[in-house]
Amino acid sequence: MMIVKELTRAAARRPREVVAAVAPALLVNALYVGQAVALAHALAAAARGRLQEALFSLGAVALMTLVRVGVALVQASAASQLGARVRLDVRAAGLRGVLRPEALRDPARRPGALRATLSDGVDGVDAYVSAYYPALLTLAIATPAVLLGLAWVSWPAALVVAVGVALALLAPKAWSRLMARRSQEQWESYEGLAAELSEALRGMQTLRALGRVPWSRRRIHARSERLRQQTERAMRASLAETALTDLAIQGALAAAAACAVVEALAPGSVASQTYLILMLSGEAFRPVRELSKQWHAGYLGLGAVAGLRDIGAFEAGETRQTQGATAAARETPVTSAGAVAGVAPAADPATEAPGEGLRVSAVRFAYEEGRPVLDGVNLRAERGGLTAIVGASGAGKSTLFDVVLGFVEPGHGSVRLDGAPLRARDVALVSQHPVLFEGTVRDNLDPAGTGHADAALEEACRAAGVWEDVLARGGLEASVAESGRDLSGGQLQRLAVARALLTGRPVLLLDEPTSALDEATAASVLSTLRRVAEHRVVLVSTHRPGELPLDTRVLALSEGRLAPAPAPSEENA
């Protein structure tokens, strides 16, 4: 018997489904016991030459078999419902955990491995939840009940069977750690292979161009081989558990049979009693055997539990109120009638309210202790003009944006908008590597499905200088491939600008918004942003300050601090 706490708790959060899966399993066991009793009766009656009584008992056995088949079907369906519900819960919690900004930024998390954990890993725990856990509860009720019945017939037999049950359940604990380690190693190999495959597929073009395809193939092959070895080792550990359980069961059954023989040899013994001892001893072990069988079937899937725990997949639904909830709130879109604010100013009062603008005060942040990327950053960005941040590559511009977005928590300092703490839903972002999703242009402009009018979508696209490209592709319903792979870098960037404009949020962050644009398109997009900045705080990070509008406030980020930089005009001079 092995108890995986996280999965037991996850299943216990679905009490109705658990009861629906366990109740018929108990009935199935009761029917088996009923059959055993009827069969013992039939045998005893046959031994005494009472044919009619024997036939009647055999009829009862046949009837109970039929009913049992029906109940077992109901049980299987209820158990799979339980498994499906728990898998949904675990996957939803896992996704919440993975989609936290700080988790997304964690370079140690390989997307392929995360994908494996969230898909195959979650599916792998199904056998434990839908089969092992109900079998464990069934055993906890059915076996003591059968033992009581057996004790009523023969207490010595009940005693040896009870000892056998205890041994069969507890003996595997002797190497539970080894089994847990083996299955985790097996799972890590699987995750590693999944990550390697996903990276190789994404980087196939690069690998080909560099002539590294055979190298990649060798790495994948080595990973596959390692997975095969780990799987064999894990299965050997699990089979040893099954063997030990079987040994305890067989030993106890032999001892119970000896009790039955002693009972049969005793003067004045009753045949049915002897048969009952034999039959009930077997029935007491039925749930134990079932448990062992289910363990073996689901064992490999349990290796994913550690990975799932790491990403927070076992956290109860609504308790994740901290970072995750904040992040969710930050992603709540604020849309309004005049969606393309600045082009057509948004109706959201927060968007238009004159105020202090965005204030970043004394912000410090370090990815590694003792090596601050931001070391006391102060920034004031107001409506009425663009604010730009320049700085060498690696100076920390994207990190500062991440702080404003709430993607990373600064160790010190604050970020406020018009005097109040900045909320995630106040900020829209055009990142350095904008992500488009598989779907249509419309889906990508309005991913939250807020139902912007076509005119608003067109206006945003025109403002971002991408409307002609949208028309050339076939309009708003034209398809877009996953990650926008069928778009040019510039089209992707401009669609992302249009999408950000449509959110109507009072703060707009643009990380290198013109890096993929030609000079004329860059000038047009920047002039749109300048207009948008009349009504919103627009903060732009750029390596090309020379192309910014002349009245842009330019700040330079260097050694973790911001300082006024020469105005674009001076720099150009």
Name the residues that contact ligand ATP, by CB under 6 A. Answer: 105, 107, 367, 373, 391, 393-399, 432
CB of 395 to ligand ATP, least distance (A): 4
Beta bridge partners of 10: none
Q: Closest approach of Cβ 71 to ligand ATP, in Å?
A: 55
Specify the residue, 397 or 442, whose C-beta has the smaller distance to ligand ATP. Answer: 397
Tally of CB atoms within 10 A around 93 = 23
The distance of closest approach from Cβ of residue 467 to ligand ATP in the complex, given in angstroms and rounded to an integer, is 29
Minimum CB separation from ligand ATP for residue 570, in Å?
Answer: 22
Q: Do 14 and 81 contact (CB within 8 A), yes or no?
A: no
β-partners of residue 381 are: 358
CB 29 within 8 A of CB 142: yes
Query: What span, in angstroms and rounded, lies between the C-alpha atoms of 21 and 531?
Result: 62
Using the minimum distance from each CB to ligand ATP, give the nearer residue, 33 or 327: 327
Residues contacting 110, CB < 8 A, separation 6+? 195, 198, 199
CA gap 552, 386 in Å, rounded: 5
Closer residue to ligand ATP, CB minimum distance, 7 or 408: 408
Q: Which is nearer to ligand ATP, 395 or 456 (CB)?
A: 395
Nearest by Cα to 402 from 559, 539, 506 = 539
Nearby residues of 345 by Cβ (< 8 Å), 6 or more positions away: 338, 351, 352, 534, 535
Q: Strand (E) positions, 324-480?
A: 358-368, 371-381, 386-390, 412-417, 420-421, 427-430, 439-440, 479-480
Which single residue is written with the structure tokens 């059915």? 142
Nearest distance from C-beta of residue 219 to ligand ATP, angstroms: 24
What whole-number distance in Å separates Cα of residue 164 and Cα of residue 250?
8
- Whether the CB-CB separation of 94 and 307 falls below 8 Å is answered with no
For 4, half-sphere exposure in the C-beta direction (CA atoms, 13 angstrom radius) is 26
Q: Which is nearer to ligand ATP, 191 or 402 (CB)?
A: 402
Closest CB 490 distance from ligand ATP, rounded Å: 18
CA 366 to chain centre: 28
Least gap, CB of 298 to ligand ATP (angstroms): 36
Q: Which of 424, 419, 415 is nearest to 361 (CA)?
A: 415
| CB nearer ligand ATP, residue 213 or residue 392 | 392
363 phi and psi, to 5 degrees? -80, 130
> Least distance (Å) from ligand ATP to the CB of residue 388?
13
Query: Please, which residue, 351 or 399, has the CB nearer to ligand ATP?
Result: 399
CB of 72 to ligand ATP, least distance (A): 52
- Residues 65, 71: contact at Cβ < 8 Å? no
Asked whether the beta carbons of 112 and 194 are under 8 A apart, the reply is yes
321/393 with CB nearer ligand ATP: 393
Amino acid at 536: R
Give 89 or 511: the residue with its C-beta nearer to ligand ATP: 511
| Helix (H) or strand (E) segment spanning residue 561 | strand 561-564
Q: Give 373 or 470: the residue with its C-beta nearer to ligand ATP.
A: 373
User: Which of 177, 371 has the CB closer to ligand ATP?
Assistant: 371
As measured in angstroms, the least distance from the Cβ of 173 to ligand ATP is 41
Q: Classify the phi-psi angles of 569: left when phi > 0, otherwise alpha if psi is within -120 to 50, otherwise beta.
A: alpha
Q: Which residue has the tokens 């030993």?
A: 251
In angstroms, give the least distance from the CB of 175 to ligand ATP.
39
